[in-house]
Chain A
Amino acid sequence: MNAGKPSGWGRAGPPVFAGRNILPRAHAPLRTFMVAMTVMCFLAAMAAGGMFMTWQAIDNWKAGVVSEATAQILPLDDSPEEVRKRVDEVVRLLRGTEGIRSVRVLSMDENRDLLKPWLGRAGLLDDLPIPRLVAITLDRKKPANIEALDGLIRVKVRGARVDAHGHWVLQLSDMARTAGWLGVAILAGIAIAAAILVAWAARAALESNRETIEVLHLVGARDRFIARQVEKRFLRAGFVSALAGVVVAFLIFALLAFIAPSEGIREGAWNMLFGDRQLALRTYATWAIVVIVATMISLASARTAVIRILQNMFRQG
């Protein structure tokens, strides 16, 4: 048992009103609240990180598709020699166009390989008039105008045209938009679930402190004083828990950046955390917002719960 004058007057012992907060520092319901908050913030941070990685992957894919185009030369009824001449003409025109990095004529075997998934390996492919394809890689910095090029090719070479994969780009854009909204929906869902869960946990934690709150009330503490004590405790608990959840999510993504089995995931995680400055900033800012919002939710929940408890304290029997 400690004895003597309390500390603060020159004797060893526990500090007087340690930390200036007179609620118990740690107890089971507060710990439950902290665990719930940590898990929710971890999920939110993982969802946000996953969302950014998906967007990044789609952006990369889209960029790849956008920087490529294909010239198609229909065989019509020409002899193979005639078709080859038209192909050569297309290649010549393409090579003479600014904004094109490379041009490659796909062999007939490559063409057949592209059609195999739809037409199978049977002899049907040999009987069909398969168009010749020319793969065009555009200069990403100054890409050629595909529409103008298509118009030129169509005029200059019979049965030839250029396709910029617009259909695919459109689908990818839709997919990116869907993924974006899905990510936002997941984040919103987690935020709502977190708010409800945290409100319950906060109320449970405060109910377990009811005795302390009642005593404070009865010795003359003002509601404002009690609310401030409770808010301070929950502000700290909410902030620490939210930060812990986000830090765990960061560590998992960092781990993925180094040891994920898929190179795409490794690259994506690395870019999101360290590689792509803009993306990393966006990720860290989102995680910071998760911590701030979670702390605010803790504070609001605690305030609501404490006010309800205080208002119920002097009631009609």
Chain B
Amino acid sequence: MIRFENVGVRYGNGPEILRDVSFELEEGGFAFLTGPSGAGKTTLLRLMYLGLRPTRGLIHMFGEDIATLPRRRFPDMRRRIGVVFQDFRLLDHLTTFENVALPLFVDGKRPSEYADDVMELLAWVGLGDHANAYPPVLSGGEKQRAAIARAIVGKPSVLLADEPTGNVDPALARRLLRLFVELNRLGTTVVIATHDHQLLNAAPEARIMTIRDGRLTMTGRSMP
């Protein structure tokens, strides 16, 4: 489903942030991406959600070579990928409901088609009473949950989450992890970038991708 071959990334003329990164995530896989701060976790996620083009190497997503994929097909590809950003990236001028429904709205669906699903999802992440609230009045944890809801509302094939439990209490973190595991059981490939070792321990079957000094190593049961 996701295959990297000798991928390298450098910003401008700076040093390589990622070096010779090669891995493959099969459909329905579950992986944690970990490593010290600044090691390149966010850069690797950016490559996976098509937010960055690699300096070298090959990336295959859903059987397509990203380097040769025409630009017009990117939106279709991105709709199969849900992303939870570390800084949430909620739009302050839209309500929580609108933020969560955004992927469906840009897909051309009518509010009447998705309203109940979005409300149900908001209720599930504990934001049922905040549907009309704007992000600036939400707490960090609430924003985190809204960002997660937005990432999964379109039932993506791949869910990428950058520190999704960084702003929530341990109880909610476990609940969110259960949500990710549940999504994974339903067939979604999940990649979570995290520092949270408790989270790593809570999902012992997951593969661990560790980035150190720009190089990636993989451990775990289903490592190829």
What is the interface of chain A, defined by CB distance below 8 A to chain B? 1-9, 13-14, 16-17, 22, 24-25, 211-212, 214-223, 225, 313-317
Docked-complex contact A219 and B103, CB < 8 angstroms: yes
Docked-complex contact A317 and B10, CB < 8 angstroms: yes
A206 to chain B, nearest CB (A): 15
- With A24-B93, A317-B43 as known contacts, state yes or no: A3 contacts B98, CB within 8 Å: no
Docked-complex contact B133 and A3, CB < 8 angstroms: yes
Is the C-beta of B202 less than 8 angstroms from some C-beta in chain A?
Answer: no
Residues of B within 8 A of A14 (CB): 95, 132
Question: Given the complex of chains A and B, what is the CA–CA distance between A216 and B11 in angstroms?
Answer: 24
Docked-complex contact B95 and A218, CB < 8 angstroms: no
What is the interface of chain B, defined by CB distance below 8 A to chain A? 9-11, 17, 43, 49-55, 71-72, 74-76, 78-79, 83, 89, 91-95, 97-98, 101-103, 105-107, 111-112, 115, 119, 129-133, 137, 150, 154
Residues of A within 8 A of B55 (CB): 316-317
Question: Given the complex of chains A and B, what is the CA–CA distance between A221 and B75 in angstroms?
Answer: 6
- With A8-B115, A317-B11 as known contacts, state yes or no: A218 contacts B94, CB within 8 Å: no
B52 partner, pick from A212, A216, A222, A317, beta carbons under 8 A:
A317
Docked-complex contact A3 and B105, CB < 8 angstroms: no
Residues of B within 8 A of A13 (CB): 95, 131-132
Docked-complex contact B137 and A1, CB < 8 angstroms: yes
- Would you list the 5 A-B pairs with minimal beta carbon distance, nearest first? A2-B132, A220-B79, A13-B132, A221-B106, A24-B93
B106 partner, pick from A6, A16, A219, beta carbons under 8 A:
A219
Residues of A within 8 A of B111 (CB): 8, 16-17
Question: Given the complex of chains A and B, what is the CA–CA distance between A143 and B13 in angstroms?
Answer: 83
Per DSSP, chain A at the interface is loop
Docked-complex contact B52 and A314, CB < 8 angstroms: yes
Question: Given the complex of chains A and B, what is the CA–CA distance between A22 and B111 in angstroms?
Answer: 14
Residues of B within 8 A of A4 (CB): 129, 131-132
Question: Given the complex of chains A and B, what is the CA–CA distance between A13 and B97 in angstroms?
Answer: 11
Question: Given the complex of chains A and B, what is the CA–CA distance between A9 and B91 in angstroms?
Answer: 22
Docked-complex contact A220 and B51, CB < 8 angstroms: no
Residues of B within 8 A of A3 (CB): 129-133
Docked-complex contact B53 and A314, CB < 8 angstroms: yes
B8 to chain A, nearest CB (A): 9
Question: Given the complex of chains A and B, what is the CA–CA distance between A30 and B51 in angstroms?
Answer: 26
Residues of B within 8 A of A216 (CB): 102, 106
Docked-complex contact A6 and B43, CB < 8 angstroms: no
Residues of A within 8 A of B71 (CB): 223, 314
- With A3-B129, A4-B129, A315-B52 as known contacts, state yes or no: A219 contacts B102, CB within 8 Å: yes
- With A2-B132, A4-B132, A219-B150 as known contacts, state yes or no: A315 contacts B53, CB within 8 Å: yes
Docked-complex contact B106 and A317, CB < 8 angstroms: no
- With A4-B129, A218-B49, A221-B75 as known contacts, state yes or no: A22 contacts B95, CB within 8 Å: no
Question: Given the complex of chains A and B, what is the CA–CA distance between A217 and B78 in angstroms?
Answer: 8
- With A25-B93, A219-B78, A317-B53 as known contacts, state yes or no: A5 contacts B43, CB within 8 Å: no
17 A-B pairs besides A13-B132, A218-B49, A317-B52 with CB distance below 8 A are A2-B131, A2-B132, A4-B132, A6-B95, A7-B132, A8-B112, A13-B95, A24-B93, A212-B93, A218-B51, A218-B89, A219-B106, A219-B154, A221-B75, A221-B106, A225-B106, A314-B71
